Amino acid sequence: MSLSLWNWNNHSPFGGFDDAFVSGSPVFGIPALTAFKNDNLLHSSPRYEVSENSKQFRLAVDVPGVKADDLKVDLEHDGRVLHMAGHRKVEKDNSYEEYKFEKRFTLGRDLDTSKLTANLSDGVLVLTVPKKEKEEPKSTTVPITQGEAPALMDE
């Protein structure tokens, strides 16, 4: 069984690492792995679980305390990259700190991303996408004509 998901970070030489810990300030072109403010880690990475069967693919992400309005799920790069981002505020000593996460995954070509669904319940965001029906390879004979080839079309 082959999974249809890979970590995605098109700006990082650490493409397989957990890119949720990457801050916005690279050092020598290499992203910093953590961002601290008042000795508290402000970027966090939710745990996730990947499962699939012959009909569908499922990604369950732990996001305790995060409301649906504070989550964003987008498909990028023609539906090949799943981009998730979210945040929550935590009250601490009469002030609020905001914890953020951002994660990208490359999706396999065997998934029908136009039918992706997202459901948030009890602190778990579940993303489900069906697999495409497997089509038999097609073969087509291309007719060959004689004579001068047509000119290149104008743009």
Q: Which two tokens stand for residue 98?
A: 């905001």
Mean pLDDT of all residues belonging to the chain: 76
Label residue 38 left, alpha or beta by phi (over 0 means left) and psi (-120 to 50 means alpha). left
Tell me the backbone φ, ψ of residue 114, rounded to 5 degrees.
-70, -15
pLDDT value at position 43? 54
Q: Which residues contact 93 (CB under 8 A, 6 or more apart)?
A: none
Distance CA(104)–CA(11), nearest Å, equals 11
- Beta 40-41 vs 81-92: how paired, if at all? unpaired
Summarised one tens digit per residue, pLDDT across range 101-111 is 888 988 888 99
Summarised one tens digit per residue, pLDDT across range 35-72 is 344 434 455 678 889 999 999 999 999 998 899 999 99
pLDDT value at position 44? 63
User: Closest Cα partner for 25 from 16, 33, 15, 37?
Assistant: 33
Distance CA(87)–CA(14), nearest Å, equals 23
- The answer to whether the CB of 112 falls within 8 A of the CB of 121 is no
User: Closest Cα partner for 17 from 30, 29, 3?
Assistant: 30
pLDDT value at position 137? 86
Residues 29-35 have a mean pLDDT of 40
- The answer to whether the CB of 88 falls within 8 A of the CB of 99 is yes
pLDDT band at residue 125, thresholds of 50, 70 and 90?
A: very high
Residues 129-136 have a mean pLDDT of 89
